[in-house]
């Protein structure tokens, strides 16, 4: 396989680097346009490669989606582990986990990563292979929560009578549901409210004190911010 004409030799680097480059492009395109409106050609253009090269690596658009999700997940957990390693308490680590799930400024993924998950879940309901990736992603998600809870229980921070695995199912389901509201730009449930509702649930269930404060600077989801900017521009033009 060759670099497209007009590109300098060595720009794409090794096969692994090229693959990562295409996965990053897929995440951006799918997050911005949605899975249904994403074409292999769009991903190829953003990655600076030919569509044939994307097909060579990923075969189908469904496989590209699942591999992009895996790539996003691995990066998300890698960032999360680094952040949590700097925190002294299990409660702070769990708060960071929830913040990364709800607050745009704490999420290391694309600004529109919530929409990415909507597409992923929708495809999982119709595609057996995507469903298998979704199941493993949920297992990893719940296991991460349960491990954080057990750490807090062993350190005496959290109630010892809480079933860590059962709590993980409840919290992961709550976060998933709130993620849908954020992705749909619900006027009542923005990212800050989702974060605070989740943390109140966590603190109440695990038996520790928690006070709102993080993320209190007003934030907007990308869709709401775009609409606000358009409205402001319209008002300026009319003036």
CB burial of residue 150 (10 Å; 0-12, 13-18, 19+): middle
Range(s) within the chain of domains with CATH label 1.10.10.60: 1-59
CATH 3.40.190.10 assigned to 1-59: no
CATH 3.40.47.10 assigned to 69-221: no
Range(s) within the chain of domains with CATH label 1.10.357.10: 69-221
- Going by C-alpha positions, the residue among 108, 145, 146 that lies closest to residue 24 is 108
Task: Write out pLDDT tens, residues 205-237.
Answer: 999 999 988 765 544 444 444 444 444 444 444
Residue whose pair of structure tokens reads 């709130």 in the numeric block: 178
Task: Write out pLDDT tens, residues 73-105.
Answer: 888 899 989 999 999 999 999 999 999 988 877
pTM > 0.95: no
Whether 195 and 98 have beta carbons less than 8 Å apart is answered as: yes
Give the span between the Cα atoms of 239 and 235, in whole angstroms: 6
The helix/strand/coil state of 215 is: strand
């Amino acid at each position: 396989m060759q670099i497209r004409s007009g590109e300098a030799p060595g720009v794409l680097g090794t096969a692994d680097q090229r693959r990562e480059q295409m996965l990053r492009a897929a995440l951006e395109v799918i997050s911005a346009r949605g899975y249904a409106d994403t074409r292999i050609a769009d991903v190829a253009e953003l990655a600076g490669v030919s569509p044939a090269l994307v097909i060579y690596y990923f075969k189908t658009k469904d496989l590209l989606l699942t591999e992009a999700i895996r790539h996003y997940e691995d990066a998300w957990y890698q960032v999360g582990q680094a952040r949590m390693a700097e925190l002294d308490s299990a409660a702070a680590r769990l708060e960071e986990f929830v913040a990364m799930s709800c607050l745009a400024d704490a999420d290391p993924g694309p600004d529109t990563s919530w929409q990415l998950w909507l597409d992923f879940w929708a495809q999982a309901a119709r595609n057996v292979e995507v469903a298998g990736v979704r199941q493993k992603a949920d297992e990893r998600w719940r296991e991460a929560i349960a491990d954080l809870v057990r750490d807090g229980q062993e350190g005496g921070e959290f109630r010892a009578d809480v079933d860590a695995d059962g709590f993980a199912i409840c919290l992961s389901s709550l976060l998933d549901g709130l993620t849908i509201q954020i992705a749909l730009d619900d006027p009542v449930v923005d990212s800050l409210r989702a974060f605070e509702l989740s943390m109140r649930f966590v603190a109440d269930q695990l038996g520790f004190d928690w006070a709102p404060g993080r993320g209190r600077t007003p934030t907007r989801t990308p869709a709401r911010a775009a609409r606000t900017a358009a409205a402001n521009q319209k008002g300026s033009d009319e003036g």
